[in-house]
Amino acid sequence: MRLNQPAYTQYHAGTAGVTDVTVTLPQATQAGAFVVVAVNAGAVATVQIGSSGGTSLTKRTERSLGNVEESCHDGSVPTGTTTLNVHLSAASQSARITVLEFAAAVTFATAVTSNSYITQTVATRRASAAASAVLTGDAVMIGSVVVDNSTTAGARPLAMSPHAELVHVGTATGAGRQFYSAHGIADVKAAEAWPWSGTTGTYRQESSTGNSGLGIYMACWYYTDTSGQPTVISGQAAPNPVVVANREAGDYYTTWTVSSTALSGVIAGYSDRHSVAAGSTINFAVDSGGAAFTCNVYRLAHQGSDLMGARLVASPTCTTQSQPAPTVHSTLGSTSCAWTNNVAWTVPSYAQSGFYVALFNTGSSFFQVPFVVKPAKRQRGKVTVIWPAATAHAYNPFGATSDTTTGTGRSLYGANQDDQIGHRCYAVSFNRPFGTLTGRKQTWFMDSFYGLIQFLEAMGYDLEYYADTDLGTDPYLLNGSRLIVMAGHQEYYSLAMRRCLNNALAARVNLAVFGANIMHWRVRFDSDTNPRIMYCYKDSYLSAGFDGTTLVDPVEYTGIWRDTRRLASPFNPYRLPEMIDILGYFGASGPLNQNLVVPSSYKTLPCWRNSAAGDSTFTSGIGYEADFDGFDVSEPVNRVALSATTFSITTGAGPNGPPYTSTGSRTHHMQLAQLQSGAKVFAAGTWQLPWAGMGRWYNNVFNSGATPVPDLQNFVVCMLADLDAQPTTLRVMQPGTDSTAPSSPGAARPMSAYGLTPVGASCGPIRI
């Protein structure tokens, strides 16, 4: 199907004495145009072409409850039509009107209304109906306006191409009810189904919490055409795959999130790899203690609302399996599980690259396993997001032999979460469940990583995803990226991983680091292809771990990257500061939770171009740890500070890393630099920037009372634009609650506008 112009929505606030609403189209209709008009109103509606005396459009089956109605109207309109008239049966009623102008007539197939779930079978016997569409309306009638608009935001399969929006329409006079409306158009095919597990040709239009007792009333109308093509808008380029994926309906956040209190001794599991290519299979080994369990796989993103932060994509078959107790390595101190794989998911070849979780559920106990779906074949020009899997494992305290489900095992930080470095293990196994959420929560993906990627997904960046361990498999893996985004806590890097990142920078690939404590510890793995053990003896402590005797790695240096001391052989052969000699050095260990300050004098920099003038303070923007500039006189000078926040620290790092006991006043800067290669690098020096107003997901929970901060959102959008990554779907994070979307950043500003030296001058080295 082809639309002549984007879907147009007009709102009408109930006005005394007014029963006719003039809808003025953004542009005149074209020859052969066919319009479909969806109306949500507190009155019965009819629609006329032009004015109230014009020809009426055909009204299809409506859903009515008292004086609140959902209806759909369609018909051919003359060339050059600029207005429609919506007549309401009663005055003073609010209405929401959405107009879709198709380039050619579409055929009304059927309509369904219900106060609960709706199932409608597409007429597959119509051989000419190669592609179908669903136009939907969804009204929620409640006693008062609520912040949690989940019932409409989760309407399925509403949130699809090319227009879907949830708004508060107004009050239905007489009924005393507020109502919300969501309209959209969804491409469906006779050979497919919604939900994915349904019978071919069957589509169930539903709300995520559909229940007549909640006052959810729905209607859907089916139209078909003979084009065999998905809905497109004339003159508009096809959206990137992320935008397409995020138009599909999401799942309300309580269906896929877990908290530390939800973890129990009943169920746990792990995957056989951190990332899987589309078209390949990922396996899971799950111990449920003999209890039956299910598995749902979700892609985490932004499905039209931050409440709908994930989309169910599969429910693999699960087999209950008796699993043996974990074992502890006698010389490494690491816990490992030799469990049998009992869940497998073959990723569809068309699956969108992204960050996924497998949720295992016994009905009363839950467990999450995160992983990445990476592209089967790389495409140049993507924004590449890196998930720090290695660091999550470093902090993982998952159990000893007598305790397989809580945090009593060893990590690279101690045993039983005691933070005693003398109790640490020398390696961590990836063949064990994540217990990170019960221990160092700030390293779990829900702390800051997810808040950032949800924002990037919502804004329509053309994203692809990899796990950090993927960087060690191919030294040129990132060379074709437009921009690399290092998100969250990326503390543990091997030589091969670092070389991969360096190669990309040398190839003029830009980098955005939304983190701190980056590449602090050097590690090694048991394999370059699919590592299952990460070694880090932490040589720089010059003290033994759990065995009381081993001081340094007997095979290869695994200590602080920047340690300049000549330690016992094997010594540190590279002695590099964090961030590849670019900018930012790990300065303060956690816990930190400081407001990030941008003095007004910094607001003249291009990255703040869509933010308010004057000083800005972003709550909790600095933490859990922080990077500062200093220590190395060879650090690049071709950089600029973007903010300045001074505060006192008591857990500062020394020149060689540990011990983290230095004190004093330090100034934190977000920074921008340009290297000799031409690569542009942004470093936040904190991983808590998503806490400061990017959205509502941070600190491992959904913060329903939080309000996004437009100045911070605009800063991120402008900064990424200046790193050559443009958004395509600037939008509010929660429709119906948030009022201001980020502004367009416009064209990328040159580095000279930041006062940086042109490429080719002395812009800082790239080592290794």
369-427 pLDDT, tens digit each = 999 999 998 889 999 999 999 999 999 988 866 555 566 789 999 988 888 999 999 99
Instruction: Identify whether 567 is part of a domain.
Output: yes
Per-residue pLDDT band at 219 (split at 50, 70, 90)? low
Same domain, 201 and 259: no
Instruction: Identify whether 250 is part of a domain.
Output: no
Same domain, 194 and 284: no
For residue 86, what pLDDT is reported?
A: 96
CA dihedral 687, 274, 361, 245 (to 10 degrees): 70
Q: Are strands 131-142 and 639-641 parallel, antiparallel or unpaired?
A: unpaired
Calculate ∠ Cα 50-53-57, nearest 5°.
Answer: 65
Which of 208, 238, 268 finishes a domain? Answer: 238
SS (H, E, C) 85-136: EEEECCCCCCEEEEEEEECCCCEEEEEEEECCCEEEECCCCCCCCCEEEEEE
Q: What is the pLDDT of the chain when averaged over all its residues?
A: 82
211 token code pair:
């229940």
CB-facing half-sphere around the CA of 422: CA atoms within 13 A: 3
- Of all residues in the chain, the percent with pLDDT exceeding 70 is 76
CA–CA separation, 480 and 496 (whole Å)? 18
- Of all residues in the chain, the percent with pLDDT exceeding 90 is 54
Give Cβ neighbours of residue 738 (< 8 Å, ≥ 6 apart).
707, 708, 732
69 token code pair:
């109605």
Same domain, 268 and 227: no
Per-residue pLDDT band at 192 (split at 50, 70, 90)? low
| Average pLDDT rounded to a whole number, residues 166-170 | 44
The CA radius of gyration of the chain, in Å to the nearest whole number, is 28
Which of 212, 238, 264 finishes a domain? Answer: 238
Same domain, 544 and 634: yes
For residue 158, what pLDDT is reported?
A: 43
Same domain, 158 and 230: yes
- Enumerate the β-bridge partners of residue 138: 182, 218
Q: How do residues 512-526 score in pLDDT, each as one tens digit? A: 999 999 999 999 999
Count structural domains, the chain: 2
Instruction: Identify whether 354 is part of a domain.
Output: yes
Per-residue pLDDT band at 652 (split at 50, 70, 90)? confident
Please report the DSSP string for 390-408 in residue order.
Answer: HHHHHT-----TT-SSSS-
CA–CA separation, 315 and 205 (whole Å)? 20
Say if residue 237's pLDDT is above 90. Answer: no
Q: Would you say 72 and 98 are in contact if contact means Cβ atoms under 8 Å apart?
A: no
Instruction: Identify whether 195 is part of a domain.
Output: yes
Per-residue pLDDT band at 360 (split at 50, 70, 90)? very high
Q: What are the φ/ψ torsions at residue 80 (nearest 5 degrees)?
A: 85, 5
Q: Considering only residues 382 and 529, tell me which one the structure prediction assigns the higher pLDDT.
A: 382
For residue 515, what pLDDT is reported?
A: 93
Per-residue pLDDT band at 106 (split at 50, 70, 90)? confident
For residue 739, what pLDDT is reported?
A: 82
Which of 673, 698, 718 finishes a domain? Answer: 673
Say if residue 210's pLDDT is above 50. Answer: no
Say if residue 578's pLDDT is above 80. Answer: no
Instruction: Identify whether 334 is part of a domain.
Output: yes
Say if residue 699's pLDDT is above 60. Answer: yes
Q: Would you say 141 and 179 are in contact if contact means Cβ atoms under 8 Å apart?
A: yes
Instruction: Identify whether 466 is part of a domain.
Output: yes
Q: Whose CA is closest to 521, among 534, 532, 536, 504?
A: 536
Give Cβ neighbours of residue 527 (< 8 Å, ≥ 6 apart).
none
CA–CA separation, 654 and 490 (whole Å)? 19
CA–CA separation, 64 and 45 (whole Å)? 11
Q: Whose CA is closest to 23, among 10, 38, 4?
A: 10
For residue 238, what pLDDT is reported?
A: 64
Q: Would you say 261 and 359 are in contact if contact means Cβ atoms under 8 Å apart?
A: no
Instruction: Identify whether 648 is part of a domain.
Output: yes
What global pTM score does this model have?
0.81
The length of the chain is: 768
Q: Whose CA is closest to 353, among 442, 432, 479, 461?
A: 461
Same domain, 221 and 277: no
Burial 173-183 (b: 16+ CB within 10 A, else e): beeebbbbbbb
CA–CA separation, 714 and 506 (whole Å)? 29
Per-residue pLDDT band at 175 (split at 50, 70, 90)? very low
Distances (CA, A) of 739 to 160, 168, 742, 748: 21, 11, 10, 26
- Domain extent at residue 202: 2-238
Instruction: Identify whether 249 is part of a domain.
Output: no
Q: Would you say 434 and 398 are in contact if contact means Cβ atoms under 8 Å apart?
A: yes
Min mean pLDDT across 294-303, 560-569, 627-636, 668-677 is at: 627-636
For residue 145, what pLDDT is reported?
A: 31
Say if residue 27's pLDDT is above 80. Answer: yes
Q: What are the φ/ψ torsions at residue 214 (nearest 5 degrees)?
A: -90, 0
Say if residue 119's pLDDT is above 70. Answer: no
Say if residue 319's pLDDT is above 80. Answer: yes
CA–CA separation, 216 and 313 (whole Å)? 25
Same domain, 109 and 145: yes
CA–CA separation, 329 and 427 (whole Å)? 9
340 token code pair:
């049998």
Same domain, 207 and 272: no
Burial 704-718 (b: 16+ CB within 10 A, else e): eebebbbbbbbbbbb
Same domain, 287 and 426: yes
Per-residue pLDDT band at 279 (split at 50, 70, 90)? very high
Give Cβ neighbours of residue 62 (< 8 Å, ≥ 6 apart).
44, 69, 70, 71, 72, 113, 219
CA–CA separation, 735 and 733 (whole Å)? 7
Min mean pLDDT across 272-276, 322-326, 451-455 is at: 322-326
Same domain, 274 and 149: no
Same domain, 275 and 175: no
SS (H, E, C) 42-83: CCCEEEEECCCCCCECEECCCEEECCEEEEEEEEECCCCCCE
Same domain, 233 and 261: no
The whole-angstrom distance between residue 404's C-alpha and the CA centroid of its chain comes to: 30
For residue 120, what pLDDT is reported?
A: 38
Residue linked to tokens 């309509």: 111
Per-residue pLDDT band at 182 (split at 50, 70, 90)? low
Q: How do residues 724-742 score in pLDDT, each as one tens digit? A: 999 999 998 986 678 899 9
Q: Of the spans 145-149, 200-204, 550-554, which averages the highest pLDDT?
A: 550-554
For residue 435, what pLDDT is reported?
A: 85
